[in-house]
Chains A and B, each alone.
Chain A
Amino acid sequence: MSDIKIEGYEFKPGFKGMAKDTGSDQTMFKGVHWGKAMMWIFLLSDTFIFSCFLISYMKGRGSTLIDWPNPSEVFGLHVFGVDVPLLLIAIMTFVLITSSGTMALAVKYGYEKNKKMCGWLILATAIGGLTFVGMQAFEWGKLIHEGVRPWENPFGAPQFGSFFFMITGFHGTHVSIGVIFLFIYAYKTFAGHYDEGKRGWFTTMKGDYVEIEILGLYWHFVDLVWVFIFAFFYLW
């Protein structure tokens, strides 16, 4: 965390620091960039949204008397004459983890003020995200072509489609928004906005590499949500 030194305030680690933070005057997380604190609050609220989706999916799947479609067959691919279960989903998972790794490195190089490495890694992350969204679009197209609708599908319980489109669609939207911001931030990094402290478009806030970390938090969260979707929707 890029703690800014505040005059007359010394932060203590551990529970002492926690007590100091929660009992502190005016602002709780002293020295933390407000954008970062707000990103965490947003991610917390987003966690609740995705939890509600996954819990409603659990309730829907648990309460139906009709057999749930077997995800390992529904999402399987037929390549080179063999049926490979969940192949596309596995590749998507690896692509998203790769992009998460490049993002983590981008944050690291950002704090070291290594403009070039940071920019290229953000660009790599954006391309990974774009690949992911592309594969998701392919998957949606394939399932729609096979007759999966929010109200019916040829494989089993009719609720399957509505949960599938809702959950993966909402996640895909998050990835798409992330990709847009990754491209914008890659441009801003290369243009040196964070070195010069150039002000942003929507805010009078001075540019700083902490923004890369805030964007990184969002991107890792998208990866985090995918871990849960992969486990509960595709593997279960």
Chain B
Amino acid sequence: MEKTKKQEQTTTHKIGIYLWIWGLLFVLSFFSYMVDWYQFQGMLRWSLILFFMFLKAGLIMAFFMHLYWERYALVNVLLWPMTAIACFIFLMVAEFEYTVFTRLFYFVAGG
């Protein structure tokens, strides 16, 4: 019993880390809203959106969902399947570009 109690104590973290992450998430969300507010366009807009998005997602997963403190086996089980999603995105980008091409070719240019 004494041993389990000791074990559990190590699993909680100081309140400061949660408040910090919380504050950071607020600031990052504010920044991503500002991207729209100032109407940035083109590459700058997309890269800023992606940058803030991945930063927010990373903070939530690492600290709120405790992945940063998690055992490697679980982290790897969760993160490797994401490469399949990346592949799928890659395939579908090629697919929509081809669809746009055929639509322009047959509907606009007339075949």
**A residues lining the B interface (CB < 8 Å):** 1-5, 11, 13-15, 17-18, 21-22, 28-29, 32, 37, 40, 44, 47-48, 51-52, 55-56, 58-59, 62-63, 65, 72, 85-86, 90, 93-94, 97, 100-101, 103-105, 108, 111-112, 213, 216-217, 220-221, 223-224, 227-228, 230-231, 234-236
Contact = CB atoms under 8 A, between A and B. Distances in A.
Interface residues of B, number: 60
A2 B36 CA distance: 42
Nearest to B35: A235
A17 B15 CA distance: 28
B93 A221 contact: no
Interface of B: 3-4, 7-8, 11-13, 15, 18-19, 21-22, 25-26, 29, 32-33, 35-37, 39, 45-46, 49-50, 52-53, 56-57, 60-61, 63-66, 69-74, 76-78, 81-82, 85, 88-89, 92-93, 95-97, 99-100, 103-104, 107-108
A171 to B, nearest CB: 15
Nearest to B52: A231
Nearest to B98: A63
B18 A104 contact: yes
Contact of B64 (A37, A65, A220): A220
A22 B4 CA distance: 24
Contacts of B25: 97, 100-101
B85 A51 contact: yes
Nearest to A113: B8
A62 B93 contact: yes
A2 B35 CA distance: 40
Nearest to A24: B73
A17 B52 CA distance: 32
Given A111-B12, A235-B45, 18 more contacts: A4-B7, A5-B3, A5-B4, A17-B73, A21-B72, A40-B74, A44-B81, A47-B82, A51-B88, A58-B93, A85-B36, A100-B22, A101-B18, A104-B22, A105-B18, A108-B15, A217-B65, A224-B60
B73 A29 contact: yes
B99 A63 contact: yes
A228 to B, nearest CB: 7
Contact of A72 (B36, B46, B107): B36
